[in-house]
A and B are shown apart, each in its own frame.
Chain A
Amino acid sequence: MKSSVITFPGSNCDRDMDVALKKFGFKNKMVWHADAELPKSDIVVLPGGFSYGDYLRCGSMASKSKIMQSVINFANSGGMVMGICNGFQILVETGLVPGVLLRNKYLEFICKNVFVKINDKKNKYFKNVNNEVLELHIAHNEGNYFCTNDQLKEIEDNNQIAINYCDENGKIEDKFNPNGSIKNIAGIFNKEKNVLGMMPHPERMIDRSLSGEDGSLFFKNLINNLK
C-alpha cells in the first residue's frame, strides 16, 4: 500500500506520520507542498503542525498551495485523504469536509491524552476496529469544531461524525469535551467517507514506551482495510 504525506512550511508531525505509516507496512513518500503532482497513492495524509504559522486562519494558506489542487482532485475522485490536527484544519478550509475549527473554548492550548468513541465503522478508516473507544493524543489551540445548524443536520443525517470526545467507557458528555466542539465532535468525514479529518494524533500512540498503542490499532486496521 502506498501513502503520501504532504509537508507544508510549518508542518511538524509529518515525520512522525512517516514513521507510523512505515511501521505498519505502508510505502510512504513525503511530498512537498509546492509540487504539483501527487505520487500514485492509496491514501494521502495532511499532517499536523502549524502550516504558514497559522496566519489568517489555521490551514487557510496551506489549503491554497499548489499540491492541494491535486489532493482535492484525488479526493473528489474517491481517493482516501486523511487530515490530522492542522491537516483537519486544512481540510475544512478546502471545503472537502464541512464546518470550521475555532479557537478552543477556554483559550488554552490543550496537549493531553483523550478518549474518543468511534461513531461510524462503515468506512475504510474504522471498519474492523474492535474497540469502541480509543485513547489518542490531542495538541491544539484551534480544535473547537463548529458548523451551521443546516450543516449539522446534514452531517448527522449522513452519519458523517467519525469520532466524539468521551470518557474511557465511551460516555459522550460535555465534561469530556476538551475544546468546546459541537456535539463533542473530534473528527468528521465527507459525505462519501473517503475523506477524514480529526484533531487527535494516532501517529503519537504507536509505541507503548512513548504514550500508548491505540494508534497502532488504527494504523494496523487501516492498511488491512485498504488491501
Chain B
Amino acid sequence: MKISVIITLKKDVLDPQGKVIHQTLDGMGFDDLNEVRQGKYFEIDTKETDNEKAKAKVEEMCKKLLANLVIENYKIIDPK
C-alpha cells in the first residue's frame, strides 16, 4: 500500500527558498501571487495491508523522523 505524506513549514517559520521562488515567479510574469511556501512530499510503500494500521505507522514516522515538529506540520494523504 502506498501512503503519501506532505510536510509543510509552519505559518510563522521563515521560508527563504519559498520567498525566492515567489520573487522569480513574479519576475516571470506570475505577478498576482500572495505567497509561495516550499514543502516536502514523501511516498511510502508499505507491506502493511490494513489501512488504519499503516496510517498509524506513518504518523509515527512523521513524528520521529520525517518532520521536525518545532517548524513543520505533516499531512498524511489517505491511501486510495
Chain B positions within 8 Å of A180 at CB level: 14
As a 0/1 sequence over residues 38 to 50 of chain B, the CB contacts with chain A under 8 angstroms (1 = contact) are 0000000000000
Distance between Cα atoms of A4 and B14 in the complex (Å): 36
Is B16's CB under 8 angstroms from A93's CB? no
Name the residue on A nearest B40 (C-beta): A56
A57, A60, A104, A180: most-surrounded residue (chain B CB, <10 A): A57
- B20 contacts chain A at the CB level, 8 A cutoff: yes
Majority SS at the chain A contact face? loop
In the complex, how many angstroms separate the beta carbon of B79 from the nearest chain A beta carbon?
Answer: 22
- A27 contacts chain B at the CB level, 8 A cutoff: no
- B28 contacts chain A at the CB level, 8 A cutoff: no
Is B68's CB under 8 angstroms from A100's CB? yes
Is A107's CB under 8 angstroms from B20's CB? yes
As a 0/1 sequence over residues 4 to 21 of chain B, the CB contacts with chain A under 8 angstroms (1 = contact) are 000000000110110010
Chain A positions within 8 Å of B14 at CB level: 102, 105, 144, 146, 180
Pairs A-B, 7 closest by C-beta atoms? A100-B70, A107-B16, A100-B71, A100-B68, A103-B16, A57-B68, A105-B16
